[in-house]
Each structure stands twice: as structure tokens, then as C-alpha cells.
């Protein structure tokens, strides 16, 4: 049944336009930003609007009048008659059933929309390649029969290609919104790939997750025992099962008796190894020296002296051609740091070698840099495992306990390996074995792609290349950070989907948020757990959506 909530008011100072309209409503009517309303229009058509602002007005000419009418400021004074008052609402036009976009007329009735009309208004009724991304709750605070709960879908082609790609999520730390929402979408993608019969080798997905916070993502194939019945019902309403991730393999940095490189419990790692779903990864000099430049991702090398040293080493000049392990490598670097060193690198000064040594020495003393890999002990080189990733696989690479330099090193290695894999650089891997889409999820993107990162950073160059070319190569970046405004323009500018969790006022004063109406900005400061605001090319307006709690084990 259609519920009339007000009428259009087109005044001399605030006329209706093709982009917006105003209507009055009862001061007791509970409405919310993002609610969809409908208005009758000419030729039997209907115009839909999304509420942006709600104001209350009375016949009081000024604040002084209000003060005087309360017995000159007596807050306990009771007025004899209530002033005439109403609410008036600003709504943004998002569509018309007859594609008629002349302004709506004064006096037309405004009413709530039903579920099908909401889909039509927001452009959700004709979405192809559907992929659920959350759900809407509309008309909160009114009668139950009017309320609408509606699953929301992306066009997956605008999330993982070929039409658009990449997801960026921003918001303050500690609200369990950024990582949780990214993991929800990854779960949806894996479920979609595993269950839909139309999925072929051309649209399968594999996932690589970098765990950067404690043990958060080190048990994503184990169920969340605290998940309530109503949470499971939400998953069913969205057309999903309530099982955690499947086909998961964990990669922990190798540790010895002196240094522990992970927050995971030893018993948990051993149990996962026993079930053949975990490895300990190492870096071997002979195969991984080409990645030395990744250790300098946050070092400003404007004179390119560090780059010259790295090229000298990789091209095996001097005695580096005889080096076969990290210990010998450090000894050879020591030789170049001595005054009077007579090597063939005349153009590289001793002070440059000493700077190089200072940067790498502490890092290379970590046991992750080893002489060999033992297959019997479930050890591996990360590249060797990543290049064998299959469709529907989920690889979780733990880097949480590393310092920023080592995290950058491993993240850069992951990106390079996936990039080379999709380019067909590994001759031993058959093309039909490679997933058509590989999604890389990294939190704290500010560490790798902020405006403060040196322009010569190899990781920044790699991220920009993936952002710009990844869609065509089948490499999709899911990223999250606290401050979107600090991310490199070429990275965030190439993301087709943006999600906003709770955000602070200072961040929202930046240019990245200038297109967002002020009332929506205010809402961003008070978003709750399990809520975010979504921007996607297929949506006609920003959407305030909800998503359910994670299905996988949560560490307290």
C-alpha cells in the first residue's frame, strides 16, 4: 500500500530542478538520508529521489522571538500554543520511469517506494553479472510493513574486470569495517566461483591475502563459533552459505629458536602443517637476489646510487658472481665498504656501499633469509608456491610481525610473482593452469602507495602498474587504508569501486570527499560496525549498505 508522506514544495527561492526537489512532511515523520522516495510526474511517470538533507522549520521569524516567547529565557516555561512547524526534505533525483527529467511539479504527492521500485530507482533492477555486496535497510523507524530490507548487487565486471577493476576501502582504525568488508567480498567471490555452473576457466578467481595485523586472518578456513543464528540468516538472505573460506593455504615466515617471525601460536602452525595447509617460506640468495631493490622501497634514492649498487650485484660484477649465499654476500659487501677497495665499481663510492650495508644488514640477519629450502619440513620459496596457485585457491601470506621494510619486501615479491605469472613469464606453468583473475588484498596501503613514498620506489611503481594495467592482465587489487587522501592519485583514481567506513572530520575536509553531500559526510562520522558507504559505476547514488559478521574464526 502506498504511504503518502508529504507534498512537493517549489518556492520562488528554492524551485525544483532536473537534479533535485524539496518536499514538506510531518515533523514526526522519521526519515533518513539515503532513503528513496517517489513522486508522481507527467504522462503517468514516476520520479525517484534519494534523501540528502532533512530540516525543521517553524513560523518563528528569528531566534530572539523564540527566546521572548519562552517568557524571556525561562527554559521551564510552557507556551499556550505550539508554533506551526514542519520538516522539509531535500532529495536528489536519481531516475524517472519514463525518462522524463523536467522538474517535478509543486503539490505532487511524495510517498515511500517498495522493494522493486527502490531497485528501479537505484539502477539495481537491470544489473548483469550479479555479485552481492551487502544489503540495504530502508525506512528505519516507521511501521514494519513499510520497512524494506534489500540485497544489493554489483556488476562483477566492474569489480574484477573486464569493464572496471580494483576496490579501495578507507576508514578509521579499530572499527572492524575495512578488513571485514574486504573479506566479505572475497568470500562472495569464492562462493560465486565455486557454485555457479556458468563459471569457466575464463572467469575463475584465485585470492592472495597479506595478513598485516596479528592473527586476524590466520584461521579463515575455521568457522566463527560466536556467529549468531540471525547472522547466518542474513547470509542466507543474501544467497550465500554460512561456511568459512575453503581451499586455504597459509604461508608463515620461517623462524628459528632466536627469532619468531609470526604472531601465530606454534601449536596452530603445526596443526595446519599436519593438515597440509601451511608452509614456512624462505628467501634464497641464488634465486631471490633480484628482489634486493624491494628493501629500498622507502629509501629516497634520488641520485640512484643504491640502484647502481643493486645492478652491480645482480649483474654479478666484481666477486659477486661467485657468491652463493647471504653470508658470503654480506662479506663481499663488507669488502666494498673498506677504504681503498679496488673493485671494478670505480663510480660507486665507499660511502654509498656503507649506506647500502646499513640498510640491508639487520634485515638479512633474519632467519627468513636462508641457504636452502627443506621440502620435508614444509618449507618453500614464496615465489615457487605462488606461481602454482590454482583457481578457487586462497593463499594467506603472514607478514604481521615484520617491520615496515620487510613487509614491503614480501609484498613486493608477491606482486612481482603474480604479475610475472599473468604475463606468462614462467615457462614451466601452462597457460590453462593459471587463474584468469588473481586478487591481491593488502591492508595499510598507506605504507606502500602514499604520496610520501619516494617516486623511485619499486613497490609504488608496481602498484601503479597494477592499478593501470591490472584489469587487462587479470590482476585485481583490493586495498584498505585509514587515510584515502594520502594515497597516490594514480592508484585510487584507477579503482572502480570505493567503500568508506567511519571517517574522521579532518580527513573528510580533504579534496577526495568534496563530491560527497555534507549530510553524507556527517553520516560517515557515525557509521556503525558492519556499515559502509559504497560508490560504484553501476549505482546512481552513493549507497549506505550493511554486511554481516565474518564467517571465519575471530581472535579475541
Domain-located, residue 551: no
Whole-number Å distance between alpha carbons of 549 and 529: 9
Select from 27, 391, 360, 431 the least CA-distant residue to 192.
391
Select from 472, 481, 550 the least CA-distant residue to 183.
550
Per-residue model confidence as pLDDT tens digits over 433-471? 889 999 999 998 988 998 888 888 899 999 999 999 999
How many CA atoms are closer than 13 Å to the CA of 75, on its beta-carbon side?
A: 0
Give the mean model confidence (pLDDT) for residues 327-344: 79
Instruction: Give how far Cα 241 sits from Cα of 188, 235, 244, 551, Å.
Output: 9, 6, 9, 10
| Same domain? 110 vs 163 | no
- Of 301, 334, 364, the residue that ends a domain is 364
| Same domain? 439 vs 542 | yes
| Same domain? 45 vs 96 | yes
Please tell me what DSSP assigns to residue 269.
H
| Same domain? 506 vs 400 | yes
Per-residue model confidence as pLDDT tens digits over 291-300? 999 988 888 8
Grid coordinates in use for 183? 573479506
Whole-number Å distance between alpha carbons of 410 and 61: 65
Total tally of structural domains belonging to the chain: 3
Higher pLDDT pick, 77 / 488: 488
- Whether residue 387 is predicted with pLDDT greater than 80 in this model: the reply is yes
| Same domain? 65 vs 164 | no
Domain-located, residue 96: yes
Instruction: Give how far Cα 380 sits from Cα of 316, 358, 387, 393, Å.
Output: 25, 28, 12, 17
Helix (H) or strand (E) holding 109: strand 109-112
pLDDT classification of 201: cutoffs 50, 70, 90? very low
Phi (first) and psi of residue 250, to 5 degrees: -105, 140
Give the mean model confidence (pLDDT) for residues 369-395: 91
| Same domain? 75 vs 175 | no
Please tell me what DSSP assigns to residue 95.
E
pLDDT classification of 200: cutoffs 50, 70, 90? very low
Question: Which CATH number characterizes residue 462's domain?
Answer: 3.40.50.300
Select from 550, 552, 542, 548 the least CA-distant residue to 135.
548
Report cis status (omega within 30 of 0) of the bond before 162.
Answer: yes
Per-residue model confidence as pLDDT tens digits over 72-101? 777 887 776 677 888 999 999 999 999 998
| Same domain? 252 vs 168 | yes
Grid coordinates in use for 352? 654509498
* Three-class DSSP category at 132: strand
Whole-number Å distance between alpha carbons of 327 and 337: 16
Concatenating the DSSP letter of every residue in 76-127 gives: T---SSPPPEEEEEEEEEEEETT---SPPPTT-EEEE--HHHHHHHHT-TT-
| Same domain? 173 vs 205 | yes
Whole-number Å distance between alpha carbons of 199 and 383: 27
Cβ-based neighbour number of residue 425 at 10 Å: 12
Residue 449 structural domain:
153-279+378-546
| Same domain? 188 vs 208 | yes
| Same domain? 468 vs 500 | yes
Domain-located, residue 245: yes
Cβ-based neighbour number of residue 77 at 10 Å: 10
Instruction: Give how far Cα 417 sits from Cα of 1, 271, 421, Å.
Output: 58, 28, 6
Classify the phi-psi angles of 318: left when phi > 0, otherwise alpha if psi is within -120 to 50, otherwise beta: left
- Of 310, 342, 364, the residue that ends a domain is 364
Whole-number Å distance between alpha carbons of 476 and 495: 10
Domain-located, residue 144: no
**Cβ–Cβ under 8 Å, residues 122 and 539:** yes
| Same domain? 165 vs 228 | yes
| Same domain? 88 vs 166 | no
H helix count then E strand count, the chain: 16, 20
Instruction: Give how far Cα 384 sits from Cα of 178, 190, 200, 209, 288, Å.
Output: 30, 23, 25, 17, 11
In this prediction the pTM is 0.89
- Of 364, 387, 420, the residue that ends a domain is 364
| Average pLDDT across the chain, whole number | 88
Amino acid at each position: 500500500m502506498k504511504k503518502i508522506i508529504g507534498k512537493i514544495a517549489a518556492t520562488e527561492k528554492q524551485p525544483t530542478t532536473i537534479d533535485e526537489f524539496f518536499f514538506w512532511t510531518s515533523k514526526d515523520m522519521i526519515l533518513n538520508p539515503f532513503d528513496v522516495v517517489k513522486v508522481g510526474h507527467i504522462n503517468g511517470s514516476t520520479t525517484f529521489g534519494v534523501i540528502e538533507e532533512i530540516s525543521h522549520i517553524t513560523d518563528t521569524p528569528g531566534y530572539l522571538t523564540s527566546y521572548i516567547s519562552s517568557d524571556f529565557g525561562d527554559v521551564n516555561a510552557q507556551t499556550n500554543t505550539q508554533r506551526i512547524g514542519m520538516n522539509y526534505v531535500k532529495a536528489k533525483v536519481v531516475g524517472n520511469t519514463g525518462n522524463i527529467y523536467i522538474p517535478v511539479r509543486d503539490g505532487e504527492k511524495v510517498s515511500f517506494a517498495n522493494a522493486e521500485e527502490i531497485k528501479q530507482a537505484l539502477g539495481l533492477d537491470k544489473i548483469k553479472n550479479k555479485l552481492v555486496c551487502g544489503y540495504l535497510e530502508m525506512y528505519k523507524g516507521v511501521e514494519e510493513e513499510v520497512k524494506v530490507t534489500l540485497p544489493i548487487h554489483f556488476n562483477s565486471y566492474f569489480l574484477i574486470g573486464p569493464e572496471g577493476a580494483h576496490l579501495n576501502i578507507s576508514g578509521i582504525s579499530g572499527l572492524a569495517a575495512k578488513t571485514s568488508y574486504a573479506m566479505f567480498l572475497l568470500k562472495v567471490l569464492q562462493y560465486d566461483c565455486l557454485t555457479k555452473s556458468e563459471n569457466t576457466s575464463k572467469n575463475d578467481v584465485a585470492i592472495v591475502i597479506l595478513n598485516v595485523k596479528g592473527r586476524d586472518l590466520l584461521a579463515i578456513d575455521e568457522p566463527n563459533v560466536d556467529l549468531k543464528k540471525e547472522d547466518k540468516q542474513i547470509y542466507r538472505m543474501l544467497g550465500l552459505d554460512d561456511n568459512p573460506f575453503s581451499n586455504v593455504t597459509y604461508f608463515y615466515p620461517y623462524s628459528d629458536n632466536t627469532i619468531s617471525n609470526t604472531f601465530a601460536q606454534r601449536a596452530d602452525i603445526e596443526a595446519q602443517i599436519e593438515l597440509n595447509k601451511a608452509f614456512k617460506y624462505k628467501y634464497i640468495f641464488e634465486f631471490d637476489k633480484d628482489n634486493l631493490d624491494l628493501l629500498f622501497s622507502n629509501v629516497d634514492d634520488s641520485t640512484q646510487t643504491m640502484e647502481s649498487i643493486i645492478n652491480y650485484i645482480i649483474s654479478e660484477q666484481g666477486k659477486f658472481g661467485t657468491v652463493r649465499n647471504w653470508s658470503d654476500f654480506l662479506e663481499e659487501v663488507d669488502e666494498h665498504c673498506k677504504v681503498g677497495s679496488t673493485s671494478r665499481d670505480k663510480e660507486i663510492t665507499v660511502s654509498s656501499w656503507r649506506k647500502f650495508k646499513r640498510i640491508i644488514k639487520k634485515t638479512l640477519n633474519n632467519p627468513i633469509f636462508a641457504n636452502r629450502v627443506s621440502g620435508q619440513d614444509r618449507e618453500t620459496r614464496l615465489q615457487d608456491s605462488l606461481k602454482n596457485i590454482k583457481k578457487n585457491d586462497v593463499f594467506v601470506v603472514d607478514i604481521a610481525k615484520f617491520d615496515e621494510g620487510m613487509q614491503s619486501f614480501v609484498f613486493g615479491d608477491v606482486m612481482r610473482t603474480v604479475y610475472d605469472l599473468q604475463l606468462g613469464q614462467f615457462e614451466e606453468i601452462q597457460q590453462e593452469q593459471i587463474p584468469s583473475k588473481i586478487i591481491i588484498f593488502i591492508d595499510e596501503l598507506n605504507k606502500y602507495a602514499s604520496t610520501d613514498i619516494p617516486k623511485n620506489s619499486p613497490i609504488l611503481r608496481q602498484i601503479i602498474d597494477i592499478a593501470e594495467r591490472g584489469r587487462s592482465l587479470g590482476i585485481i587489487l583490493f586495498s584498505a587504508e585509514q587515510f584515502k587522501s594520502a594515497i597516490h592519485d594514480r592508484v585510487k583514481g584507477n579503482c572502480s569501486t570505493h567503500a568508506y567506513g567511519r571517517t574522521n572530520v579532518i580527513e573528510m575536509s580533504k579534496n577526495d570527499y568534496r563530491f560527497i553531500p555534507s549530510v553524507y559526510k556527517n553520516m560517515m562520522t557515525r557509521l556503525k560496525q558492519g556499515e559502509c558507504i559504497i560508490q560504484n559505476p553501476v549505482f546512481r547514488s552513493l549507497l549506505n549498505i550493511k554486511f554481516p559478521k565474518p564467517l571465519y574464526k575471530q581472535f579475541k
